[in-house]
Amino acid sequence: MEAVVARLASESAVVVFSVSSCGMCHAVKRLLRGLGASPAVHELDEDPRGREIERALAGIAGRRRSGPAPVVPAVFIGGAYVGPMEAVMSLHIGGRLVPMLRSAGAIWL
């Protein structure tokens, strides 16, 4: 299933794996859209493979961090796993998110 996640993550400049009732997921999608990006969103609670994708994301997130990592939102930019909400916010606050979005072709200005 990690191959499926990798394929989905590379189909758009910005990809968000989400759950439709998740407040943090909503916030990260709103932030990305507010910056001018149009993320491809995969709502795991609406996908028949959602549980399998969620397990694959947990593996990907776990390899990037020590300790338990949140599974959603899972943000990919330019096909690379960025992380959950806290990672995206850290990039944004540090002024690194917009250049990353530009580099991936997600925004132009």
Q: What number of other Cβ atoms are within 10 A of residue 72's Cβ?
A: 24
Per-residue pLDDT, averaged over 59-82, amounts to: 82
- 3 state SS of 25: helix
Q: How distant, in Å, are the alpha carbons of 28, 57, 77, 104, 108 from that of 70?
A: 14, 9, 17, 24, 30
**Averaged pLDDT score across all residues of the chain:** 93
pLDDT at 77: 98
Q: What percent of the chain has pLDDT over 90?
A: 84
pLDDT in tens, 54-68: 999 999 988 665 556
**Can you give the pTM of this predicted structure?**
0.92
Q: Which CATH superfamily is domain 1-104 in?
A: Glutaredoxin (3.40.30.10)
Query: Domain-by-domain residue ranges, the chain?
Result: 1-104
